[in-house]
């Protein structure tokens, strides 16, 4: 529970809530726009890329095509006389059913020219043949159109035959305004259409609820479903078994072709644009024959494969989820990653939607989620950039101020140290004169040691200031290190004796190496000084030098004492600026915490190293390694400056 409370109060949670609200608002705002054109495009894209469905071989198509019309010297959809011959031929083959997607009013017109009696005779003949087929259990059904008044019944006497509505829906206002056929009528005024009637011959299903994806159109008393096209609908890429009416009339098609099949008859000629529609596969005229679309509709029903649409609530949720996700990402990562994420997110959603369509026949509306993704990108990336720039600008300002402070500090340091040094030197000189003139020696030594201490402090500060302003230039000369060590030992003899400390040295003969003598002298002096300062009375100091055995090419100098030693936690920070361990010995001993920092810096300027080992209470050992060869003319900045810490 505590973690829940903490999580609810966390900055991340607040940010998430903010993004969620922004995502929701954006989604709701976008939903006031229909975006049907985009949705239609995305729908068609999926339809075209879903892959072809396997064909159930239930349907055969007879097209009244250009060849038929030309050869018979007729107009599409042929005169009734020709239809009588056609139906007779089909009937012989014992099909499962015969369905006409033909406007017989046109056929009657085609009979004009011959006189009325002939026309009537042909029509009656047609009805007779159809009735005979009915009697042998082969339904012959005429597809009809509808207009404002309802079904347009075929002309008498054809109206005596079974007929059913068989229209193609084109998207005009319900979805998109591009006149593409994507959905089909299932029933109107409670009457199922011809397609359902034919599908029922195979699967026995006639009720809307028995099929997937059938939905009601709220405004009209009609049910619809989305056609799951078997494949491309262009007549050049035929999916269905199809023959020309002429070949059937001329008896060129074997009866096996029609046996037990549902035969669909329709017109497909180049002089009737009405024979064609637009589909997701093509939007050029004279390309997608209505007959093929009817076959696709019937087959969608036979396979019960209508496309399912997700609910409005699902679409809204998906859109909110994705926009929120993109907003969160845009807030959390760099603008560049934000772009990559946005594009990747859109692509993944597209691919998932494509997969859902392809494998499950589910249509997830993509226009709002995709627009949500891109809008959040356009709204939030500039915001993000502005905050980023603001941060950078503030950082720059701060940096400028820091640089000014740094300059002030270094000016102040050199000013103070120079102005302090001169009077201290004067006091020192005068105290020496006093000592020589026989004044109480204790007093004078007091003055002298205090001025020494002050002097050391000022020198250290001066050196630090020099380091920090990069003003140190090495003045290298060949020098025997042992000579320097001996000089230093001599310098500290008196100080050591006063604490009864013995300094021993074991110095192997060495070739001179190139070093900055004053700097290295300072390092060795400082280490001997520390060894004396941080060791009790009677301790021992050992100074050794020689070629390093572990590091060939280096001279190794070790200064070992049997003093108080250093605790492991202090050992880590020993070489940091101003660091002084918090223990009694250190507190009672005067110092700045700069000696070791400067020593390591000076040694590293020579491309060498300074390290310390210690056992608390037993003593410490400091090791200096200096290269024998002057390997580099240009020195890399000492590592001790990188990521340094200061203890002030």
Q: Which of 444, 465, 464, 462 is nearest to 454 (CA)?
A: 462
* Count of residues in contact with ligand ADP, rule CB under 6 A: 21
| Shortest separation between residue 417's beta carbon and ligand ADP, angstroms | 17
For ligand ADP, the binding residues in 590-629 under the rule CB under 6 A are 591-597, 620
Measured over the CA atoms of residue 311, residue 316, residue 322 and residue 325, the dihedral's sign is negative
| Shortest separation between residue 519's beta carbon and ligand ADP, angstroms | 15
| Shortest separation between residue 378's beta carbon and ligand ADP, angstroms | 58
Which segments of 278-361 are extended strands (E)? Answer: 288-289, 308-309
DSSP readout, 302-326? HTT-PBEE--HHHHHHHHHHHHHHH
Comparison of 133 and 624: residue with beta carbon closer to ligand ADP: 624
Residues 6+ apart with CB under 8 A from 332: none
Residue with tokens 């001996």, as numbered in its chain: 486
Comparison of 169 and 580: residue with beta carbon closer to ligand ADP: 580
Comparison of 159 and 586: residue with beta carbon closer to ligand ADP: 586
Comparison of 367 and 620: residue with beta carbon closer to ligand ADP: 620
Comparison of 170 and 461: residue with beta carbon closer to ligand ADP: 461
| Shortest separation between residue 563's beta carbon and ligand ADP, angstroms | 5
Q: CB under 6 A: which stretch of 41-49, 51-59, 210-218, 529-537 binds ligand ADP?
A: 529-537
Residues 6+ apart with CB under 8 A from 574: 566, 581, 596, 612
**Residue 435: Cβ-neighbour burial (10 angstroms; 0-12, 13-18, 19+):** middle
| Shortest separation between residue 609's beta carbon and ligand ADP, angstroms | 16
With b meaning 16 or more CB within 10 Å and e meaning fewer, what string describes 520-559? bbbbbbbbbbbbbbbbeeebbbbbbbbebeeeeebbbbbb
CA–CA separation, 447 and 644 (whole Å): 36
Q: CB under 6 A: which stretch of 101-109, 327-335, 487-495, 528-536 binds ligand ADP?
A: 528-536
Comparison of 316 and 459: residue with beta carbon closer to ligand ADP: 459
Comparison of 289 and 591: residue with beta carbon closer to ligand ADP: 591
Among 255, 459, 505, 586, the residue binding ligand ADP under the rule CB under 6 A is 586
| Shortest separation between residue 586's beta carbon and ligand ADP, angstroms | 4
Comparison of 305 and 596: residue with beta carbon closer to ligand ADP: 596
- The CA angle 540-542-546, to the nearest 5 degrees, is 175
Convert residues 478-517 into a mask of x (bound to ligand ADP by CB under 6 A) and - (unbound): ----------------------------------------
| Shortest separation between residue 540's beta carbon and ligand ADP, angstroms | 12
Convert residues 546-575 into a mask of x (bound to ligand ADP by CB under 6 A) and - (unbound): ---------------x-xxxx-------x-
Comparison of 370 and 541: residue with beta carbon closer to ligand ADP: 541
| Shortest separation between residue 603's beta carbon and ligand ADP, angstroms | 13
Residue with tokens 């005229």, as numbered in its chain: 285
CA–CA separation, 221 and 574 (whole Å): 90
Element (H, E) at 451: helix 441-468
CA–CA separation, 530 and 464 (whole Å): 19
DSSP readout, 60-91? EEEEEEHHHHHHHT--TT--HHHHHHHHHHHH
Two structure tokens written together for 532? 């004396």
Where would I find the H helices in 474-562?
481-498, 517-533
- Tell me the CA distances in angstroms from 629 to 177, 500, 556, 583, one per residue in order: 86, 39, 13, 40
| Shortest separation between residue 404's beta carbon and ligand ADP, angstroms | 29
Among 176, 233, 323, 530, the residue binding ligand ADP under the rule CB under 6 A is 530
Convert residues 1-40 into a mask of x (bound to ligand ADP by CB under 6 A) and - (unbound): ----------------------------------------
Comparison of 108 and 566: residue with beta carbon closer to ligand ADP: 566
Binding of ligand ADP at residue 463 (CB under 6 A)?
A: no
Pairing status of strand 59-65 against strand 262-268? parallel
Comparison of 318 and 531: residue with beta carbon closer to ligand ADP: 531
Comparison of 463 and 561: residue with beta carbon closer to ligand ADP: 561
| Shortest separation between residue 581's beta carbon and ligand ADP, angstroms | 4
Pairing status of strand 540-547 against strand 150-151? unpaired
Comparison of 530 and 640: residue with beta carbon closer to ligand ADP: 530
Binding of ligand ADP at residue 373 (CB under 6 A)?
A: no
Among 531, 557, 605, 624, the residue binding ligand ADP under the rule CB under 6 A is 531
Q: How many CB atoms lie within 10 A of CB 85?
A: 18
Binding of ligand ADP at residue 581 (CB under 6 A)?
A: yes
Element (H, E) at 506: strand 502-507
Comparison of 235 and 564: residue with beta carbon closer to ligand ADP: 564
568-573 long-range Cβ contacts below 8 angstroms, 24+ apart: 568/616, 571/612, 571/613, 571/614, 573/645, 573/647
Let me know: does 510 contact 555? Beta carbons within 8 Å. Answer: yes
Q: CB under 6 A: which stretch of 109-117, 170-178, 527-535, 623-631 binds ligand ADP?
A: 527-535
| Shortest separation between residue 457's beta carbon and ligand ADP, angstroms | 9
CA–CA separation, 274 and 97 (whole Å): 25
Q: What is the dihedral of CA 345, 348, 350, 351, to 10 degrees?
A: 170
Binding of ligand ADP at residue 580 (CB under 6 A)?
A: yes
| Shortest separation between residue 644's beta carbon and ligand ADP, angstroms | 13
Comparison of 353 and 594: residue with beta carbon closer to ligand ADP: 594
28 φψ region: left (φ > 0), alpha (ψ -120 to 50), beta (else)? alpha
Binding of ligand ADP at residue 534 (CB under 6 A)?
A: yes
| Shortest separation between residue 638's beta carbon and ligand ADP, angstroms | 16
Residues that bind ligand ADP (CB under 6 A): 526, 530-531, 534, 561, 563-566, 574, 580-581, 586, 591-597, 620
């Amino acid at each position: 529970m505590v973690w829940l409370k903490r999580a609810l109060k966390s900055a991340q949670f607040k940010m998430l809530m903010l993004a969620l609200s922004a995502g929701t608002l954006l989604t709701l705002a976008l939903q006031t726009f229909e975006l049907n054109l985009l949705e239609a495009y995305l729908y068609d894209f999926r339809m075209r890329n879903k892959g072809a469905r396997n064909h159930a071989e239930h349907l055969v198509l007879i097209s009244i095509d250009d060849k038929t019309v030309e050869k018979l010297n007729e107009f599409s959809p042929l005169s009734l006389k020709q239809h009588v011959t056609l139906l007779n031929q089909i009937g012989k083959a014992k099909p499962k059913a015969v369905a006409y997607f033909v406007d017989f009013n046109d056929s009657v017109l085609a009979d004009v020219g011959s006189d009325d009696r002939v026309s009537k005779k042909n029509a009656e003949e047609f009805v007779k043949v159809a009735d005979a087929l009915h009697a042998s259990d082969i339904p012959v059904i005429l597809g009809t159109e509808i207009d404002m008044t309802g079904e347009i019944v075929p002309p008498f006497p054809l109206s005596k035959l079974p007929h059913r509505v068989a229209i193609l829906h084109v998207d005009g206002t319900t979805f998109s305004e591009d006149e593409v056929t994507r959905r089909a009528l299932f029933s109107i005024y409670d009457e199922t259409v011809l397609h359902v009637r034919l599908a029922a011959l195979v699967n026995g299903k006639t009720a809307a609820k028995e099929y997937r994806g059938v939905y009601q159109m709220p405004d009209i008393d009609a049910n619809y479903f989305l056609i799951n096209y078997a494949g491309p609908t262009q007549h050049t890429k035929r999916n269905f078994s199809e023959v020309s009416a002429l070949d059937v009339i001329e008896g060129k098609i074997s009866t096996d072709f029609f046996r037990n099949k549902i035969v669909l008859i329709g017109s497909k000629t180049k002089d009737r644009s009405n024979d064609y529609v637009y589909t997701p596969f093509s939007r050029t005229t004279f390309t997608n024959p209505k007959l093929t679309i009817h076959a696709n509709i019937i087959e969608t029903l036979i396979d019960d494969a209508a496309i399912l649409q997700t609910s409005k609530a699902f679409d809204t949720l998906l859109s909110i989820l994705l926009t929120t996700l993109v907003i969160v990402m845009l807030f959390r990562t760099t603008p560049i990653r934000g772009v990559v994420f946005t594009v990747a997110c859109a692509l993944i959603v597209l691919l998932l939607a494509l997969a859902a369509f392809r494998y499950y026949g589910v249509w997830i509306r993509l226009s709002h989620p995709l627009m949500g993704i891109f809008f959040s990108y356009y709204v939030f990336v500039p915001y993000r950039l502005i905050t980023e720039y603001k941060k950078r600008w503030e950082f720059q300002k701060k940096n400028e101020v820091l640089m000014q402070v740094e300059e002030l500090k270094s000016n102040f340091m050199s000013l103070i140290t120079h102005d302090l040094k001169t009077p201290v030197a004067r006091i020192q000189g005068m105290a020496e004169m006093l000592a020589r003139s026989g004044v109480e020696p204790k007093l004078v030594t007091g003055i002298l040691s205090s001025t020494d201490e002050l002097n050391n402090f000022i020198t250290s500060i001066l050196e630090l200031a020099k380091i920090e302003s990069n003003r140190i230039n090495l003045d290298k000369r060949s020098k025997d290190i042992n000579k320097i060590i001996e000089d230093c030992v001599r310098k500290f003899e008196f100080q050591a004796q006063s604490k009864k400390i013995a300094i021993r040295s074991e110095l192997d003969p060495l070739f001179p190496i190139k070093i900055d003598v004053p700097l290295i002298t300072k390092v060795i002096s400082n280490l001997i000084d520390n060894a004396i300062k941080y060791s009790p009375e009677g301790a021992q100091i050992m100074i050794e030098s020689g070629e390093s055995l572990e590091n060939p090419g280096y001279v190794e100098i070790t200064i070992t004492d049997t003093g108080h030693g250093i605790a492991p936690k202090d050992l880590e920070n020993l070489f940091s600026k101003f660091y002084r361990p918090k223990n009694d010995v250190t507190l009672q001993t005067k110092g700045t915490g700069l000696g070791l920092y400067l020593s390591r810096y000076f040694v590293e300027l020579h491309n060498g190293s300074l390290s310390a080992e210690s056992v608390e209470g037993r003593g410490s050992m400091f090791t200096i390694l200096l290269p024998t060869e002057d390997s580099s003319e240009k020195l890399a900045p000492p590592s001790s400056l990188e990521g340094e810490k200061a203890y002030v």
